[in-house]
Structure 1
């Protein structure tokens, strides 16, 4: 099922339209009604609603982690794949930074995005069937993995993909141990309840530069300072096989990795089938399919 990109939708979260940044109240639930049962307990859902994220230890087995690592190595050394637009390299080196739409490139990761351990949790949070808005593998090798500046994913998905509401959830599957010192994910817990409206118009083909170093659509320092003082910062450490589940509007980022210890993960964005993108809210044209899918066929529902 593929979305037609001509549906008029009200802009509940204006961004990149004003000369000054602003903080807007969230207008959507965090945990949506519609799916009464699932893997998460009521306590876990309550914590997710409050913090904007939760962690599930050892959701993925050690054997599966090894399978994913092997596939990661295969993808990173595929010389033909490196010529594909879906592969992003570090701006200061020739190291692979990310491979997007990885569930369409790899049968191994295609099985992962349909795995009920992930899909049923996404359905429980979003209240409907879900599809994959975006998937990627992130490499942060030792002695050179770059940083990801503070951002809300939803700001970009709304502005450049046309995602109307905060009804998407991200799953980060750790393939390496995450320490405080090797570029672990940082989240401001509770920041998902506030939308930071950013300044600056979206250039045409912005994705070509933003995937390496984003400037338009990044929050201002005053807003970041306010959110950090209000909510604090959690550093999400853990072991390979752990999974971090976080809301689309969480303010998050990660530092560079100057240690010998790599940090890699598989990143999957599940979006509600009722929240399909329309036209971009702050861009002249949508990003390519590998960044913001228009195929809303539900995953994990094969007979």
Structure 2
């Protein structure tokens, strides 16, 4: 726990010296109702129970080509030493952070009527972009993401107080079961799993390539999978996976000749703004955790995206 948070009660302690019992979630998963957005009661109930929801046709097929070209442009134009560009050990690009601030096309995706209203409904009101990135998993060499809860990191290292954030992963390429597509443990969002090990200084400089701190141990993961199993997000380009900030998820490496890429958007409630980190010495850069919050306006039509 940081010095600034030592006198504040933390309902979700983590990065500890020793293991403690998992903690039951305090907040609701769904903050809106079926009258406040495009999701019906059945979809909201599924999201509350499973912690995730798949929405097909989130981005129209005629917009996927321009978005793919935009990814190539960003990858080519950004300097090799730009901190927003995260590379695999072999040198290929793994992620590009804050693409919505670098590209009007990506910014348009945030405002789509198939995206923004869903975020507002799930979080019960005005939202802003806490983090955005493009994830690239190239053919043959793309490495996976180990099992983790995003909220654990955002709470520990960014000072996010509540589980009132949601992620939207929009596939720009086909997601097959064998090209490193995302796996989730359904229902795991209902439990917070404290992790062992103090946060190193400048942890983000290494964790964005391979995370070692803030991940559950193997025994914890085994129990979670025994209880709830594993689901996998597969489907055509343009599909979106929405998942709760505390859902355990991860992906394997891509050893196929089929690359995988996605636009990853994290929406946070304007009522859940960041404070001092709960378990880190300093704050992370703005491109990883936005502190200059601005409520997003009305959604745009799909035609305005690309």
Q: Any stretches of 5+ residues in structure 1 without a counterpart?
A: none
CA distance in 1: counterparts of 2:16 and 2:223, whole angstroms? 21
> What's 1:280 paired with?
277
CA distance in 1: counterparts of 2:259 and 2:215, whole angstroms? 26
Distance of aligned partners of 1:35 and 1:130 in 2 relative to their CA distance in 1, 3 Å threshold: farther
Q: What is the correspondence of 1:182-197 to structure 2 with a 5 Å cutoff? A: 182-197=179-194
CA distance in 1: counterparts of 2:291 and 2:179, whole angstroms? 34
Task: Report the 3-state secondary structure (helix = DSSP H, G, I; strand = E; otherwise coil) of the residue aligned with 1:157.
Answer: helix
Q: Any stretches of 5+ residues in structure 2 without a counterpart?
A: 301-306
Residue by residue over 1:233-276, the C-alpha shift from the partner in whole angstroms, topping out at 9 and shown as x without a partner, is 00111100000000000000000000010110000000000000
TM-score normalised by length of structure 2: 0.93
Distance of aligned partners of 1:34 and 1:162 in 2 relative to their CA distance in 1, 3 Å threshold: farther
CA root-mean-square deviation = 1.7
Residue by residue over 1:179-236, the C-alpha shift from the partner in whole angstroms, topping out at 9 and shown as x without a partner, is 0000010000000001110010011111001111110111111110000000000011
> What's 1:37 paired with?
36
TM-score normalised by length of structure 1: 0.94
Q: Aligned to 2:226, which of 223, 226, 229?
A: 229
Residue by residue over 1:110-154, the C-alpha shift from the partner in whole angstroms, topping out at 9 and shown as x without a partner, is 121222321110110010100000000000011111010000000
Shift of 1:33: 3.9
Task: Report the 3-state secondary structure (helix = DSSP H, G, I; strand = E; otherwise coil) of the residue aligned with 2:30.
Answer: coil
Task: Report the 3-state secondary structure (helix = DSSP H, G, I; strand = E; otherwise coil) of the residue aligned with 2:296.
Answer: coil
| Alignment check: 8 A CA contact 2:160 2:272 kept | yes
Moved over 6 A (4+): none
1:143 paired to 2:136: no
| Alignment check: 8 A CA contact 1:35 1:127 kept | no
| Alignment check: 8 A CA contact 1:170 1:270 kept | yes
Q: Aligned to 1:258, which of 234, 239, 255?
A: 255
Task: Report the 3-state secondary structure (helix = DSSP H, G, I; strand = E; otherwise coil) of the residue aligned with 1:135.
Answer: strand
